Structure 1
Amino acid sequence: MAAAHPRLTLTACILASSLAFIDGSVTNVALPAIGKDLRATPAELQWTINAYLLPLSALLLIGGAAGDHFGRKKLLIGGIVLFTAASLACALAGDLTLLLIARAVQGVGAAILLPNSLATLGHGFTGEERGKAIGTWAAAGAIAGAVGPPLGGWLVDAIGWRSIFLVNLPLAAIAVGIAAFYVEESAEGELPLDIPGAFAATLALGAIAWGLTLWSSHHALGKPAILGLVAGLALTAAFLWIEHRLGDKAMMPIAMFGSRAFAGLTLLTFLLYGALGGVLLLLPYVLIQAGGYTALEAGFALLPMPLGMGLASRFTGKFTAKAGARLPLTFGSLIVAAGFGGLMLVEQGAPYWTSVFPGMILIAIGMALVAAPLTTAVLASVDDSHSGTASGFNSAIARTGGLIATAIAGAVMASAGAGLITAFHLGAVVGAALAAASGAAAWLTLAQPRPR
């Protein structure tokens, strides 16, 4: 069924999701300033990111299912309000502990608003218009991500890191106003909520992230790290057992993996977005700490990637609706891998245009080919009644990849000087390998569409 106010529905969904996109890109640029002000170690700075990614990764699934159950409009507005309140708490945090708590609440809010913004689009548009709307949504999200780093860098240099969290307030107010009056409610009735599964997933991801963070920041696999990893794997097994027992009532129905294409999309998402999250967390940190960049300069250094994605994603959304997702997902991932390889040119004192820019342009082109086709392919793999669950699951996998990459990135962040550059080069090589593997997953698991 088409939305009564399609443009306003699309606007509300874009503004809502932009909150999460801007927050992620802005915080990466602010990490050195946060560490200096709150006297945080590299391992503690990792948790500034992970405290947000952990609930976001674990609760996206149930956030989408809750929208299917209670109503996507209600959950969309509720998620925006919670995210905004937590943003204000981040700006007012007096120490690192309070900041981490507020960041975790931000993650809960994002886990509610993100899947329901996309599911609202899936319900409000049909056919080719759905592909266009999703392409526009992805493009706007990329543009929001493009604005984030330079805006955040300017705010950090001119006002202070706390101001980056206040940017969310006016955007949230506009999004809530439009959603309240113009977005139609949609739900699928009495769908069950998988509380045990959500609880097990949260504990599993938390234990794994904790173990990996200890391992990477201390450059040694000590007993606490081993304990965290073993506990995380055991809790992951418990989560899978719970989901198997619940069957179709699970927030991650195991039967979905009977589809070769769905399994391939899941693997691609985990590998590609894990690589992207790790490298784009490290790049501004390395440029500021070892390259002598200001926060503003580091923010502008990231600009080509999201800006290029924003300009091209709408067109790739239209192309995918007609030609299928296999080719853009395969070759887009391989181009991203080449871009990560290009970041090997980053050196102390090297000019931006010959060190950072070539790799960022390639990553931009590759991700423009991937972003909209991936979202469209995932939504097309399930029926409308589970659109929230499907979008939540795919977003959760992307954030889980970023969470694990961030936990491992401490091995790079703990280095200094020339050692930091060397460690970053190793991270770029690993990212390139993961991106190439994601392209192979797309090629081997997705079918070429039949001619009409």
Structure 2
Amino acid sequence: MYCLCRPPCPDGGLFRDECCSRCDRKTRRTILLAAIIASSLSFIDLSAVNLAIPAIQEDLSATAAHIQWIVQLPALFLASLLLIGGSLGDHFGLKKVLAWGLAIFTISSIGCSMAGGVGSLLFFRATLGIGGAIVIPASFSLISYFFQINERGKAIGIWSGATGLTVVIGQVLGGALTTYISWRTIFLLPIPLAAIVYERMRSIPPAPPVSEEKQGGSIEAFALFLFLGAIVLTFIELPQRGFSDPVIIASMVVIAAAGSVFALSVRKGKDHIVAVEMYTNLRLAGANAITFVLYGSFTGSLFFLPLNLVQIQGFTEIQAGLALSPFVIAIFLLSRVGGFLTDRKGPATPILSGCLLVAVSFLLLARAGIRVEYVKDLLPPVILMGSGFALAAPAISTTVMNSVDRQDLGAAAGLNTTVSRIAGLAGLALMGMIMALSFKQAFAAELLSAGVKVPLIEELLPLAGDLGGMSVPESLGQELAVAILNSRDLAFVFGFRVMCITSAILTAFSGWLGLLFFRKPEKGSIS
């Protein structure tokens, strides 16, 4: 731990067992609070924006592809730059780098609130991702920098639970602001929180650079950006364009080329974003693999749950936010349990049990139809999902931070967060494609069963890209419009069920990966 009662130890080390623990207890609470608030900025943004998507889609005349890009762009830049963002803290000092990221995030949030169209909103969403790529690993690394290894599980559990609570706040406030004022106001939510972090940072001890090596990996970062961007483009545009479209063909070529460049750069290059040894650390690789599968299945399906509630079930934005609140409340209440179990039993038990609970929750969500009963159909799976995530997430995070040496904490945090963001990108893109294809197929079948003529069905199918936000031409008449809208709702529910079943299978698989990697406590490396 960092000791404030006297200067650093004579050998220059900040971590000494004999250092005083009483005098810096208050400081460590301040550090944990600053880390929680800073890392919550992106979570608040994501939870609030998801609830505002129907309003944004209507106000800006955005298509389903547009709204996916609005959500995906920050994640794309986060995933591409998090490795560099994590290493920046190791090279320039955590406090300085955190201040940089907060400034970028704040300016971008203001820009999003003033966006005049889809294009300007997408631009500021991209710069928002750049700021988040700096803030998230820096804030998370503060915990590992100032807390001893035997305290990290508890600290990370508190961090995970409290960060989850801020998501509830984001959902409720975002829903209320969207319903009663404007969706633009939700982008102003992170600004006062960033100001609080700036004020708290003044009482945090210096966190000097722990690495003097030159920052490298520009080729890796650029190749990763192209690779991820092409994947997202392919999944979003494929349902509408088809495999023969030149854009899809070019995107696949970029995926192959950029992926090859990234792999060759990691294998044979001299300068890297993170040390090559991190890719071969067995426990770190296991934690990252579980993160990818769990977060991918989780993020992809959860994007469409608020759309289901608002566009299909008839909830208002604030009602949808309140309906999802038990998910994050469960995380807040049980995350310390996940951290405690990890410290006492190891990561395998909480990861397996947590992932199985999440899998069951997705199966329960798949049972819901149109006009659901909240207490019967939604509340149980929402609570189960939050409980499972509260057990698994702290175990994964603690394993990541305990798998590396102190000088690599920032890079390890950046790597794991990068994996989670890549998983979110891949999961949302994959689930979006599943939703689009399932919706289009079911929509045509429902229209046919409702007695709609085939020529009219062919005219309506291009509108299927708007999913639940699809509107019906007024010229068709009220009776036919009701039949079309009912077919739309049934098709959306069908696609949502397919996604939930897919997510249940993937989350159960991630629990099996927890047993595979962490059943034995030994450390090792991939040969």
| TM-score grouping bracket, smaller chain normalisation | over 0.9
Distance verdict in 2 for CA 1:390–1:164, change over 3 Å: same
Q: In the alignment, what sits opposite 1:226?
A: 249
- Which of 189, 201, 217 is the equivalent residue of 1:179? 201
Q: Deviations over 1:228-267 (max 9, x none)?
A: 13312320221121112236x4224443343332222111
- Within the alignment, does 1:209 sit opposite 2:232 as a pair? yes
Structure 2: distance between partners of 1:430 and 1:216: 18
Structure 2: distance between partners of 1:221 and 1:263: 36
Distance verdict in 2 for CA 1:215–1:183, change over 3 Å: farther
Q: In the alignment, what sits opposite 1:436?
A: 508
Q: Deviation at 1:183?
A: 4.2
- Which of 145, 150, 153 is the equivalent residue of 1:128? 150
Q: Deviation at 1:287?
A: 1.2
Q: Mark the runs of 5 or more structure 2 residues left unpaired by the alignment.
A: 5-26, 437-464, 468-487, 523-527
Contact (CA 8 Å) 2:341, 2:350: kept in 1 or not?
Answer: no
Contact (CA 8 Å) 1:131, 1:318: kept in 2 or not?
Answer: yes
Distance verdict in 2 for CA 1:149–1:16, change over 3 Å: same
Q: Deviations over 1:152-191 (max 9, x none)?
A: 1111001110010111111111111111342422321313
- Which of 421, 438, 447 is the equivalent residue of 2:519? 447
Three-state SS of the structure 1 residue aligned to 2:212 is coil
Q: Deviation at 1:18?
A: 1.0
Alignment of 1:69-88 (within 5 A): 69-88=91-110
Structure 2: distance between partners of 1:421 and 1:170: 38
- Within the alignment, does 1:425 sit opposite 2:425 as a pair? no
Q: In the alignment, what sits opposite 2:129?
A: 107
Distance verdict in 2 for CA 1:155–1:352, change over 3 Å: same
Q: State the structure with more CA Rg.
A: 2
Q: In the alignment, what sits opposite 2:420?
A: 398
Structure 1: distance between partners of 2:253 and 2:289: 22
Structure 1: distance between partners of 2:283 and 2:365: 31
- Which of 161, 165, 169 is the equivalent residue of 2:183? 161
Structure 2: distance between partners of 1:336 and 1:384: 33
- Which of 311, 317, 321 is the equivalent residue of 2:339? 317
Structure 2 residue identity aligned to 1:237: S
Judge which range, 254-263 or 127-136, deviates more.
Answer: 254-263
Q: Deviation at 1:58?
A: 0.8
Structure 1: distance between partners of 2:323 and 2:400: 31
Distance verdict in 2 for CA 1:217–1:337, change over 3 Å: farther
Structure 1: distance between partners of 2:353 and 2:272: 34
Contact (CA 8 Å) 2:350, 2:395: kept in 1 or not?
Answer: yes
- Within the alignment, does 1:16 sit opposite 2:42 as a pair? no
Higher relative contact order (CA 8 A, sep 6+): 1
Contact (CA 8 Å) 1:212, 1:229: kept in 2 or not?
Answer: no
Three-state SS of the structure 1 residue aligned to 2:208 is coil
Q: In the alignment, what sits opposite 1:138?
A: 160
Q: In the alignment, what sits opposite 1:271?
A: 293
Contact (CA 8 Å) 1:122, 1:130: kept in 2 or not?
Answer: yes
Distance verdict in 2 for CA 1:82–1:294, change over 3 Å: same
Q: Deviations over 1:375-397 (max 9, x none)?
A: 00011111111111111111111
Structure 1: distance between partners of 2:404 and 2:353: 25
Distance verdict in 2 for CA 1:436–1:222, change over 3 Å: farther
Structure 1: distance between partners of 2:492 and 2:189: 31
Structure 2: distance between partners of 1:229 and 1:401: 19
Contact (CA 8 Å) 2:300, 2:432: kept in 1 or not?
Answer: no
TM-score by length of 2: 0.82
Q: Deviation at 1:192?
A: 2.9
Structure 2 residue identity aligned to 1:428: C
Three-state SS of the structure 2 residue aligned to 1:87 is helix
Q: Deviations over 1:205-234 (max 9, x none)?
A: 111111111114557663422321331232
Q: Deviation at 1:2?
A: 2.3
Structure 2: distance between partners of 1:217 and 1:436: 31
- Which of 44, 52, 71 is the equivalent residue of 1:30? 52
Structure 1: distance between partners of 2:2 and 2:340: 18
- Which of 78, 81, 92 is the equivalent residue of 1:56? 78
Three-state SS of the structure 1 residue aligned to 2:515 is helix
Structure 2 residue identity aligned to 1:201: L
Three-state SS of the structure 1 residue aligned to 2:269 is helix
After TM superposition, what 4+ stretches of structure 1 lie above 6 angstroms from structure 2?
none
- Which of 313, 316, 340 is the equivalent residue of 2:362? 340
Alignment of 1:189-338 (within 5 A): 189-193=211-215, 194-218=217-241, 222-246=245-269, 249-338=271-360
Structure 1: distance between partners of 2:336 and 2:242: 43
Contact (CA 8 Å) 2:220, 2:273: kept in 1 or not?
Answer: yes
Q: Deviations over 1:11-60 (max 9, x none)?
A: 11111011111111111111010010000000111000111110011111
Q: In the alignment, what sits opposite 2:393?
A: 371
Structure 2 residue identity aligned to 1:312: L
Distance verdict in 2 for CA 1:221–1:382, change over 3 Å: farther
Q: In the alignment, what sits opposite 1:408?
A: 430
Structure 1 residue identity aligned to 2:149: G
Q: Mark the runs of 5 or more structure 1 residues left unpaired by the alignment.
A: none
Structure 2: distance between partners of 1:282 and 1:221: 28
Distance verdict in 2 for CA 1:385–1:33, change over 3 Å: same
Q: Deviation at 1:303?
A: 1.0
Structure 1: distance between partners of 2:286 and 2:430: 24
Contact (CA 8 Å) 1:143, 1:309: kept in 2 or not?
Answer: yes
Judge which range, 255-264 or 325-334, deviates more.
Answer: 255-264
Judge which range, 284-293 or 316-325, deviates more.
Answer: 316-325
TM-score by length of 1: 0.95
Structure 1: distance between partners of 2:124 and 2:199: 24
Q: In the alignment, what sits opposite 1:148?
A: 170
Percentage identity across aligned positions?
Answer: 36
Judge which range, 354-363 or 25-34, deviates more.
Answer: 354-363
Distance verdict in 2 for CA 1:230–1:189, change over 3 Å: same
The count of corresponding residues between Structure 1 and Structure 2 is 449
Contact (CA 8 Å) 1:35, 1:45: kept in 2 or not?
Answer: yes
Structure 2: distance between partners of 1:196 and 1:131: 35
